[in-house]
Amino acid sequence: MNQPNPPSTRPYLIRAIYEWSLDNGYTPQILVSTTHANVSVPAEHIKDDQIVLNIHPQSVKNLELGNEYIMCSARFSGRPFELIVPIVSVLAVYARENGQGIVFQDESSDPSSPP
């Protein structure tokens, strides 16, 4: 049975690329749009309304790759910071070493336009 509005595939694809990166010895990173509401990242590291976050287990603590948010603790310039990233603000997930991953279409764009 099809749901009228199925959930986004974005969180599932983020988790898949994250796991693939780790399985292959790569560093998973996410590109985040900081213009979305509820994004909590260190402002001094934002460039052009975006930030790249390394989400490798050696770089973050208590990583939660949920369906609505990515949350974890990380250190920036030696200071701890609690990151909160809404899934809709993730623009891409990829391996730092080779750039392989997925770039996402903006889900706030016109839904009547083809993908």
As a whole number of angstroms, the distance between CA 80 and CA 102 comes to 28
pTM: 0.87
pLDDT at 7 (0 to 100): 83
Supply the DSSP string of 2-70, one letter for each residue: --SSPPPSHHHHHHHHHHHHHHTT--EEEEEETTSTT-B--GGG-BTTEEEEE--TTTEEEEEE-SSEE
What average pLDDT score do residues 14-24 get?
A: 98
Give tens-digit pLDDT for 71-113: 999 999 999 999 999 999 999 999 999 999 999 987 654 444 3
The SS3 of residue 97 is: coil
